[in-house]
Amino acid sequence: MRRFLPIAILLCWMAAAVAVPPTGIEYPPLQYTLPKPERIVLPNGIVLYLLEDHDLPLVDVEVRLRGGRLYEPADRAGLSAVFVRAWRNGGTLTRSPDALNTAIEDMAAILDISDDGDTLGISLSLLARDWRRGLELLADLLRNPAFREEQVRLAKGQVTEQIRRRNDEIAGIASREFAGFVYGTNHPLGRVPTLQTVQSITRQHLLDWHRRLVTPRNIWIAVTGDFDRRAVLEELRRLFGGWKGGSPALPVIPAPKEQPAATGFIAKQADQAHLRIGHLGVAYGVPERAALDVLNYILGGSFTSRLTHEIRDKRGLAYAVWSSIAPANPRGLFSIGCQTKSESAEEVIQLIREQVRRLTEEPPSEEELQQAKESLVNSFVFRFPTASDAVSAQMLLEIHGLPRDTYDTYIARVQVVTAQDVLAAARKYIHPDRLRVLVVGDGKKLARLAGQAQRLQAR
C-alpha cells in the first residue's frame, strides 16, 4: 500500500485547492452514494458480490482471501511474494503457463495476482462477451494451480533480485526500516525477506500454502460490469458451488509491542536526509476514524497542513512533508515523512516534534477544522473512480470486519467532527513521548545526529 501514498497525498492537495471556493461563491454539500452490490453466500461459504453496470462492455472480477505476507512463517519470509508470482505464471493442472497466457491474450484480458499484506487478490478484467470463458479460466487457476518447478525457480529469482536491489533507493530503505524500527524486526509487520529465507522455499511449501489459504470459507468474489445477473450467478454456482473445504489455517498474529521513544540512524551516502517519525497506529474500525482523518489532514495530509506550512512554506526546508494514520491488521502506523538537506535535518525533526505535541495540547482552529472537513467530504468520491473500485472497497469492509455502512455514513461522520473531537483523538492516539525517529543519510554530513542515535543497518 505504500506505493499509493504519493497519489493519495496528491489527491488531498488537489482537494484542498478546491475545498474553499472564492469569496461570494457557495456550493451545495457533496452528495454521493456508493453503488450497492448484491451480496450472496453460497452454501459452502463463498461470498459473492454482484453489481450490473452497463455503461461499458466490460466485466471486472476480483477474488479476495485472507492471506499474504502478514501470515507467512518467519523462517520462510518472502513466501507470499514467491507464491503470487508462481501462482500467476505457473499455469494449472490442465493448462501450461503458455496455454494460460494465450487464453488470456485471446480475450484481450488482464489477469493479476497480488499480495496486499493481509489479503491476497486475483483481478481479471475482460470484455463482456468473454465473461463466461474468463470465469472458467479463473476458477481453474483458483482451484487447480500447478506451481511448476520452472516457474517456482523463476519467482524465487525475481524476489531474490528485488532483495539484492532494495537498498538502491533511499526512500524505500526509510519506509521499510521504519516499519521494523516501530513494530520490531521479528514481528510480521516489521520483518523482511532475506536471501536465505527465500532460497529455502520449495514447490511443496507453495502447494501447502495454497491448501491452507484457498478454501471456500476464505473466498470472496466480486463481479462488476456488463452482464446478466442470473446468468453470472448460475455460472458461479456451477464453477464453485460444489467445492468443499473448511476454514483457512491462518496463524494468530500477535499485537505489536509499544516501543519507547528512540532515534535510529542508517548510513547511506546521499545529498539529503530521509526522515521517518512516528509510532504504532490504530487497528481497523476505531470509532474515531473520521476525527483521525481530520486530524491527519490538519497535521500533514494536505498541501495546507501545519507541517507543510512550517517546514516548506515558512522555512523552505523541504519540498514536501506528509503524515499518515493508516489502519492495519492488527495495528497500523502513525508516520510522518520528509526529506531535507543534511544540514537542516535536526531542525526539521524538532519542528515535527513541536507540531505533533501541539496536536495534543490545543484544538484546531475553526478555519483549519472547516477546511479539513470540506476537503475530506469533497474528495470522498475520488476514492472510488469506478464501480468496480466501489464494490471491491465494500467487499474489503466485510473481510476486515467493519460495518457494511462504513462508507455510507462517512460523510455524515466527518461533518459532525468538532475541534474537541480532534483534540480527544489526538490525546488518545498520538503520543509525542513515544516518537521513534529514523534518519537515513550521509554519516559524515550528519555526524552529530548519527553520534547521538542508535546505529542501524539496512536489511
Query: Does residue 197 fall inside a structural domain?
Result: yes
CATH number at residue 14: 3.30.830.10
What is the C-alpha to C-alpha distance for residues 137 and 59, in angstroms, rounded to an integer?
14
Alpha-carbon separation of residue 43 from 120, 140, 243, 344 (angstroms):
22, 20, 10, 62
Are residues 296 and 413 located together in one domain of the fold? yes
Clarify whether residues 340 and 434 are in a common domain: yes
Q: Are residues 357 and 398 in the same domain?
A: yes
- The residue type of 104 is I
Q: Which residue among 240, 266, 283 closes a domain?
A: 240
Beta pairing, strands 110-115 & 119-127? antiparallel
> Which cell goes with 263?
532515534
Expressed as residue numbers, the domain containing 391 is 2-20+27-31+258-455
User: Taking a C-beta distance cutoff of 8 angstroms, is the pair 250, 441 a contact?
Assistant: no
133 plus 235 within the same structural domain: yes
Assess if residue 248 is contained within a domain: no
Give the domain-ending residue among 179, 210, 240.
240
Q: Tell me whether strands 58-66 and 220-225 are parallel, antiparallel or unpaired.
A: antiparallel
Q: What is the pLDDT along the chain (459 residues), one digit of tens a residue?
A: 333 344 444 444 434 444 444 444 455 656 678 999 999 999 999 999 999 999 999 999 999 999 999 999 999 999 999 999 999 999 999 999 999 999 999 999 999 999 999 999 999 999 999 999 999 999 999 999 999 999 999 999 999 999 999 999 999 999 999 999 999 999 999 999 999 999 999 999 999 999 999 999 999 999 999 999 999 999 999 999 999 998 899 999 999 999 999 999 999 999 999 999 999 999 999 999 999 999 999 999 999 999 999 999 999 999 999 999 999 999 999 999 999 999 999 999 999 999 999 999 999 999 999 999 999 999 999 999 999 999 999 999 999 999 999 999 999 999 999 999 999 999 999 999 999 999 999 999 999 999 999 999 999
Residue type, 411: I
The answer to whether residues 132 and 235 touch, using CB atoms and an 8 Å cutoff, is yes
What are 303's three cell numbers?
498541501
183 Cβ partners below 8 Å, 6+ apart? 189, 190, 256, 280
Distance (Å, rounded) from C-alpha 222 to C-alpha 392? Answer: 7
Distance CA 382, CA 139 (A): 32
Domain count across the chain: 2
Q: Judge if 348 and 386 occupy the same domain.
A: yes
